[in-house]
Structure 1
Amino acid sequence: MNRTGLSPLALPLPPATGGWQEGDLPGRRRWVTLRQPLALESGGTLPGVRLAYETWGRRAADGSNAVLVLHALTGDSHLAGPAGEGHPSAGWWDALTGPGKALDTDRWFVVAPNVLGGCQGSTGPSSRRPDRDARWGGEFPHLTVRDQVSAEVELADALGIERWAAVVGGSMGGMRAIEWAVTFPERTGSLLVLAAPAAATAEQIAWGSLQVSAIRTDPGWHGGHYHEAAPGGGPHRGLGLARRIAHITYRSQPELGARFGRAPQAGEVPGHGGRYQVESYLDHHASKLVHRFDAGSYATLTDAMNGHDVGRGRGGIAQALRRATMPALIAGVDSDRLYPTAQQAELAALLPGSDRLRIITSPYGHDGFLIETSQVGALVRELLAGSTGRTPGRPAGQPLGS
C-alpha cells in the first residue's frame, strides 16, 4: 500500500469511476424512470432521472406493509445479500433484513433505493445524459436532500405505495428520513432516525468541505469530466483522501487508540518511509472505496449533506418538526463525534411523536449505527410493532385526497 490510496499488489489501478455502469451485471437492482424532469429546489430541472432500488418480501395488496430504508453516504440499495453479481459489497444491514429478522421480510415489504446523485444505478454525475451522448460529469446540477426525497416520492408512486409503514435511515439516510417526515407526513406512517441531525452544523460542513476540496483539487478531476479516463487517470487520490478524512470522524478516539495505539505497521518503520497501523487502516478503506465509488457522486452527496436544514424556508427547525406527528424513534450513538447525541436529543424533544432519545452504546463512534445491529434491531422491532401504512380513518387502497 502507498499513500496515494492504491494497492498495486492487491488491486488493479482504480477505474476512472468505481460506480455501477450500463452493461455491468444488474444484480438485484430494479429501476424506475421518473415520468417528467425532476424539479429541483435550486429552480432548475433534472431530466431522465432513474432510481435504482431493491426490494425484499412481498407487497401487500394495499401497500400497507412497505418500509423505506435509506442508506448513508457511501451506501447503496444493497441492503441485504452477499457481494458479487453486480454488487461490490455485501448488504450493509444484512443482519437486520430477512425472514424473522428485525426487518422481517415475511411480514414487511422492504424497499431500499440508491439515492439520487449516487453511483450504484441511480442518476448521478457518472450517468449518461438523456440529451446527448455524454456523461453529466461536472455539469451535474446541485442537489439538496429535499430533491432526493422528491425523487423517492416518485419511486413510491411507481410501486403503488401511498404511505410507508415506516421510514428508516441513518446518517445521510436519516437526513432524508427527516425530510420525508416533514415534507410528506401523510405518507410517513412512522419514523426511525439514527445518528443524524435536523441541520448540519458549521463543524460538520467544515469536515465535508475538506473532503470535497480533496476531490476537486485532484489533478485527475478535470472539472468533473474524468469518467472516460484510463484506469488510474481519475481523481482517485482525492477520493481516497476524502475517505481517510471521513473515516476518522466515523470512529471514536478511544477505539482507534485501543485498536492501534502508536504501533507501526508490520515490517514498516514510521519516520523512514513506513506507516503506523492506523495509517495502514485508513489506506485500506481509501483503496476499497476508490474501486467501488464515484468521486463526483461523493462530492455531490457531501454538498447535499452540508446543505441539510429541515427548517430552511419553514420558519426554523422547531416549527418544521411540528409537522411530523407520526410515531418516531430517535437514536444517537454515545461515542459519535461527527453527529453527537445532542443533535438527536434536539430531534427527540421537538418531534411530537417521539417520547425520548434512545442511546446506542458503542465504542465505534458514528459507525455504531451500522455495527451495533443487535441494538439497532431492537429499535426497528419496537418501531414496527405498532406501525401501519394506512392513513387513519381511510380504507386500505383508497387514494390520498379521496
Structure 2
Amino acid sequence: MHIFVWGETHPEFADALMPMACQPTAITGRNRLWRAMLLDGIRSDPAWQGGDYVEQPRQGLRTAVDLLLLAGSAPMPMQRDLATREIADGWLAAQQDRRIPALDANDLWYQVNASWNYDPSAGLEKITAPLTWINSADDFINPPELGLSEQYAPRIRNGRYRLIPNSVDGHGHGTHTWAVFWKADLAELLAHSGR
C-alpha cells in the first residue's frame, strides 16, 4: 500500500516499484468490515480500558487473531491441511496459544487503524517509475473478482499487473511473502528499469 502512496507522492524517487497484496483504492466493503470487527473486538474488551490496560485484553486479542487467521488464510491449503474436525480445532487452539502472547493490543489496533483513510486512487497517473503490481487469486483481503485491478492498472503509465493463480501452494494474503511466486517478475522489473 505504501508503494502506491510513495510512487505518486515522490514519483522521481524510485527507479522501480512492486506493490503486492494490495489495492490502490479506499478500504471499503468486506475489507473494511473485517478491519472494523478487529478494532471493535479489541475496543469492546473491558480489559482494554481505552488503551490504558494493565494486562493485555486477551478476549479482544482472541477476536483479533480469529479475524487475522481468516483474512490471511488460503482456502485450498487449509482444506487440505485441516482435513478433519480434530485437526482444524487443534490448529486453531495452537494458533491462539502461539499468537496471542506475541501481540500488543494497542500496537495491533494502531496497525489496523493506520489504513482507515488510505486511498491513493486519485493520483495513480503521477506514478512514473516502472511498476509491477502483484496480487494473488486466493487473497481474502484483495479478491480479484472485485475487478479493481482492471479498473486501476490502465491508469498506471509504466505499470503491469499480474495475478498469481489460486493453488494448494498459495498462502492467501501472505502469498506475497513467498518469493517463489514473484521472483521472475522482480527480475523482469529490474531489467526493465535498468537496474
How high is the TM-score relative to the length of structure 1?
0.44
Distance in structure 2 (CA, Å) of the matches to 1:258 and 1:195: 23
1:184 and 2:10 matched = yes
Distance 1:183 1:379 in 2: 24
Match of 1:89 in 2: none
- Report the equivalent of 1:349: 154
**1:194 corresponds to 2:13:** no
Query: What's the counterpart of residue 59 of structure 2?
Result: 237
Which position in structure 2 is the counterpart of 1:321? 124
What is the root-mean-square deviation in Å for CA atoms of aligned residues? 2.0
Residues 306 and 202 from structure 1, CA distance in 2 versus in 1: closer, same or farther, beyond 3 angstroms? farther
Q: Map Cα deviations across residues 213-243 of structure 1 (whole Å, 9 max, x no partner).
A: 11111122111012xx3xxx31133113212
The whole-number CA distance in structure 1 between the counterparts of 2:177 and 2:151 is: 22
Equivalent residue for 1:305? Answer: 115
1:192 offset after TM fit, Å? 0.3
The SS at the match of 2:153 is helix
| Residue 388 of structure 1: how far off its partner (Å) | 5.8
Report how many aligned residue pairs link the two structures. 189
Please list every run of 5 or more consecutive structure 2 residues that lacks an aligned counterpart in the other structure.
none
CA distance in 2: counterparts of 1:285 and 1:343, whole angstroms: 32
CA distance in 1, matches of 2:124, 2:56: 41
Larger relative helix fraction: 2
Matched residue, 2:35:
208
Residue 379, structure 1, aligned to residue 185, structure 2: yes
Name which of 74, 79, 83 aligns with 1:252: 74
The answer to whether residue 191 in structure 2 is matched with residue 370 in structure 1 is no
Please give the secondary structure, in 1, of the residue aligned with 2:12: helix
For 1:221, the equivalent position in structure 2 comes to 48
- What is the aligned-residue identity percentage? 23
CA distance in 2, matches of 1:353, 1:197: 17
Q: Is the 8 A contact 1:330 1:347 kept in 2?
A: no
TM-score norm. by structure 2 comes to 0.86
- Look up the match of 2:162: 358
Once the 2 structures are TM-superposed, how far is the Cα of residue 337 of structure 1 from its aligned partner? 2.3
For residue 256 of structure 1, give the secondary structure of its aligned residue in structure 2.
helix
Alignment of 1:29-68 (within 5 A): none
- Structure 1: segments with no counterpart, 5+ residues: 1-174, 266-276, 311-316, 390-402
Higher relative contact order (CA 8 A, sep 6+): 2
Pair 385,346 (structure 1): closer, same or farther in 2 beyond 3 Å: same
1:340 maps to 2:150: no
2 CA distance for matches of 1:283 and 1:219? Answer: 23
